[in-house]
C-alpha cells in the first residue's frame, strides 16, 4: 500500500464517519421531537383525568349537600351510602 492509498482510505473513512454522524444527529433530533410530543400528550391526559376527578368530587359534594338539606337521620346515611356506591362505580370505570 502506498502513501496515496492510505490517504484515500483515510479520507473515505472520514467521509463515512461524517455521514454517520450527520444521519445519527437527524435520528436523535427526530427522537427528541417525538418524545416531546408524547410528553405533551401525557400532560394533557393527566390534566383531563384530574379534571374528571374534580368534576366527580364536585358532583358528589353537591349530592351530599342536597341530601343533608332534605332528609334526617337514617335517611341521610342511607342516601349517602347510595351516593358513595354510585360514584365508586363511576370512578371504577376510568
> How is residue 93 annotated by DSSP?
T
Specify the number of domains making up the chain: 1
The mean pLDDT value for 59-81 works out to 70
Query: For 25-66, what is each residue's pLDDT tens digit?
Result: 777 788 888 889 999 998 998 888 888 888 877 877 777 777
pLDDT classification of 90: cutoffs 50, 70, 90: low
Q: State which residues form the domain around 69.
A: 3-92
Within 8 A by CB and 6+ apart from 40, the residues are: none
* pLDDT tens per residue across span 4-19: 877 888 888 888 888 8
pTM for the model stands at 0.45
CA torsion sign, 44 to 47 to 52 to 58?
negative
Amino acid at each position: 500500500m502506498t502513501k496515496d492509498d492510505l490517504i484515500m482510505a483515510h479520507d473515505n473513512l472520514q467521509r463515512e464517519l461524517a455521514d454517520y454522524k450527520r444521519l445519527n444527529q437527524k435520528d436523535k433530533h427526530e427522537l427528541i421531537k417525538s418524545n416531546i410530543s408524547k410528553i405533551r400528550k401525557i400532560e394533557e391526559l393527566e390534566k383531563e383525568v384530574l379534571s374528571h376527578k374534580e368534576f366527580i368530587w364536585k358532583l358528589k359534594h353537591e349530592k351530599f349537600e342536597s341530601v343533608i338539606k332534605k332528609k334526617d337521620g337514617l335517611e341521610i346515611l342511607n342516601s349517602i351510602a347510595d351516593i358513595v356506591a354510585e360514584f365508586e362505580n363511576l370512578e371504577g370505570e376510568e
